[in-house]
Structure 1
Amino acid sequence: MSVSAMCRLGALVGMWRIGRISAVTAAVVGLLLGSLPSASAASSDASLDLLVISAGTLTPVFDSGTMTYAAVVTNTTATVTVQPTAAPGATVTVNGTTVVSGATSTPVALSVGTNTITMVVTAGNGITQKTYTVTVQRSMPADRDLLALKLSSGMLAPAFDKATAAYTAEVPYSTERITLTPTVSAESSVAKVNGQTVSPGGSSDPIDLAVGENEISVVVRAQDASTKRYTVTVRRASAV
């Protein structure tokens, strides 16, 4: 075989090999590309998988299909954070600020009363969205004080002051019973005299007095269940 013929044969073999390699490479690349999700296959799931609040309890219990929640916190709770976990590939904002899925939001300041926290979840496809809301109710300040305290007989000593917890009163022997009229500072508070609830603006049931000292307890219970106790020691005089 001539040199020129051998060269032509070598070129043909080389082209055949290149063709084989190119075909194999194309097949592998095609398989790899076929295994990768396309942009059109991005998730449309815009749900939250989990939602945690730093104070109070979510009502109802969290469920990804439930969009609206409520929580009650004490007056001493000035801020809360939420921790939303979005579906894979989705993003989430809390009151307009982006939060990494599963991370804690920046503190949300709470006013006394109703506060709304809004979480918008955007699916991986960048189109589908869902909005979750939590309404946080911050309670009124706890008011355990009495505004006034009056006796049906005798005078308080010292004169009533909401900051003073202990009082005395003198009554004659002829006073066999006494009633107390406590006035609470807050409408949401409740007063009890010797364990019995007193209606707003009303007086206690008559309390029997023995000769000598009689201690009467007045307990004010605030909306947050905290209490404050006042005492009145009534001294009934002896018979002459």
Structure 2
Amino acid sequence: MRNAIFVLSLAHSFIFYGNGENHAQTDPAEGARHCRDHGLHPDVLSVSTGTDPNPPAASSDAYLSSLVVSIGATAKAISPSFVATTLSYSVNVPTATTQVTIAATANDSGASVQGTGTLVLGDAGTSTPAEIIVTAGDGITQKTYTVTVNRAALAASTDATLADLSVSNPITGGMAITPGFDPAAFSYSTYPVTNNISSVTISATANDSGATVSGAGSSSLSVGSNTLDVIVTAADGATTSTYSIAVERYGPESTRLSALTASEVSFAFNPDTRTYYLNAPNAISTTTIAATTEYSGSTMEMDIGGGFVTFDGSEDVSLVAGEMKTITIQVTSQYASDINTYELNITRAASGASADATLSALTLEGGDFALSPAFSSGTYSYTAT
């Protein structure tokens, strides 16, 4: 008889499957006969197997019985603690950890498990998920367990220094800074710029890639002194450093004088009038020449007959009776791009010469004009009608 299963119990119950027929025999005598026919002792439990035409249904159990995440031989705690019916977990690992090992055991021996083994982690400060898929013995039922491995971030840097710092302008280009750049030095200056340079560009790079830099880029310049600050904030968000750059911008260049006087000699000064002829009384042997430039960046030189020398704005000049003294003041713009000259010609009256500088009469020709008020040597202002 093919494909048969014989089961004999101590109670002599006998079950026979074969040739599409099932036979249950509980009669002891009949059971004993079948045992003898198949070489079995009637008092001993024995099973002989073939193919069961009605096997039990395959399991639909797709759960795990264990889930372990480890670094080397050390298991890491998962959160929450493992429960077969909980499908989502997380694990925290140190910054230095670059990979973990995931081990999982199916609850049913007929189920299969995928997704275990080595899991390579992302960069420090990132989370890496892993999926463990359990397929039940029936080949249909599945459960997916998710494990998220959180790799600790690097400790935030306190580096708030710069790796480089430079200054340029749109007209002359790069500008040297003094002293030369040093990450540990925080105060710098550049050479002064002319008035036509109204802005500079600061380039700055943080030494640590996690730090932030503010104050770099284009900055407008006011006339005069400017202090430009570049602030570096470290990755920790608290540590800061300030690099300061001093830049002076000159005002508009000018070669004009704003004031010019000669003591004891009266005259009306006009910045656009360059030459003057003046008379000084005989009693005046020395006159003080005083001048002020319109722009503070301009410089002055004076020549009183022996060549130009530096003029600081005030100089005593001797006058000779009966002679004319020529005083030349040269104004040079800040960058020597322009020069302007003023000239005073002062004649000192000769000895014994009258000091009377009044008129004895005043008339107008070319018509019948009348002066109002009537002429008087001591009156200096009139209207002609």
Q: Aligned in 2, Cα 1:233/1:139: closer, same or farther, shift over 3 Å? A: closer
Residue 28 (str. 1) matches residue 137 (str. 2): no
Residue 181 (structure 1) aligns with = 289
Deviates more, 1:120-129 or 1:181-190: 181-190
Residue 227 (structure 2) aligns with = 116
TM-score calculated relative to the size of structure 2: 0.40
Q: Which one of 200, 206, 209 corresponds to residue 80 of structure 1?
A: 200
Residue 59 (str. 1) matches residue 178 (str. 2): yes
Contact 1:116–1:133, Cα closer than 8 Å, also in 2: yes
Q: Aligned in 2, Cα 1:33/1:148: closer, same or farther, shift over 3 Å? A: closer
Contact 2:255–2:298, Cα closer than 8 Å, also in 1: yes
Q: Aligned in 2, Cα 1:43/1:150: closer, same or farther, shift over 3 Å? A: same
Contact 2:206–2:212, Cα closer than 8 Å, also in 1: yes
Q: CA deviation at 1:22?
A: 0.5
Q: Which one of 253, 260, 270 corresponds to residue 148 of structure 1?
A: 260
| Structure (1/2) with the larger helix percentage | 1
Q: CA deviation at 1:105?
A: 2.0
Residue 163 (str. 1) matches residue 272 (str. 2): yes
Contact 2:221–2:249, Cα closer than 8 Å, also in 1: no
| SS state at 2:116 partner | helix
For structure 1, the residue ranges without an aligned partner over 5 or more in a row are: 95-103, 172-177, 207-213
Q: Aligned in 2, Cα 1:28/1:53: closer, same or farther, shift over 3 Å? A: same
Contact 2:161–2:232, Cα closer than 8 Å, also in 1: yes
Q: Aligned in 2, Cα 1:170/1:124: closer, same or farther, shift over 3 Å? A: closer
Residue 242 (structure 2) aligns with = 131
Q: CA deviation at 1:78?
A: 3.2
Q: CA deviation at 1:125?
A: 3.6
Q: Aligned in 2, Cα 1:148/1:82: closer, same or farther, shift over 3 Å? A: same
User: Superposition RMSD on alpha carbons, in Å?
Assistant: 4.6
Q: Aligned in 2, Cα 1:168/1:201: closer, same or farther, shift over 3 Å? A: closer
Q: Aligned in 2, Cα 1:49/1:205: closer, same or farther, shift over 3 Å? A: farther
Q: Which has the larger radius of gyration?
A: 2
Q: Aligned in 2, Cα 1:182/1:228: closer, same or farther, shift over 3 Å? A: farther
CA distance in 1, matches of 2:226, 2:255: 25
TM-score calculated relative to the size of structure 1: 0.59
Residue 90 (structure 1) aligns with = 211
C-alpha offsets along residues 141-161 of structure 1, whole Å, 9 cap, x if unaligned? 5443222165999x99xx742
CA distance in 2, matches of 1:34, 1:199: 68
Residue 98 (structure 1) aligns with = none
For structure 2, the residue ranges without an aligned partner over 5 or more in a row are: 1-49, 60-107, 127-150, 170-174, 280-285, 320-324, 348-385
Q: CA deviation at 1:202?
A: 0.5
Residue 196 (structure 1) aligns with = 309
| Structure (1/2) with the larger strand percentage | 2
Q: Aligned in 2, Cα 1:170/1:183: closer, same or farther, shift over 3 Å? A: closer
CA distance in 2, matches of 1:220, 1:138: 20
Q: Aligned in 2, Cα 1:127/1:188: closer, same or farther, shift over 3 Å? A: closer
CA distance in 2, matches of 1:124, 1:35: 14
Q: Which amino acid aligns with 2:180?
A: V
Q: CA deviation at 1:61?
A: 1.8
Q: May I ask how many residue pairs the two structures share in their alignment?
A: 202
CA distance in 1, matches of 2:191, 2:176: 7
CA distance in 2, matches of 1:63, 1:73: 21
Contact 2:163–2:205, Cα closer than 8 Å, also in 1: yes
Contact 1:184–1:220, Cα closer than 8 Å, also in 2: no
Q: CA deviation at 1:86?
A: 1.8
Q: Aligned in 2, Cα 1:229/1:215: closer, same or farther, shift over 3 Å? A: farther
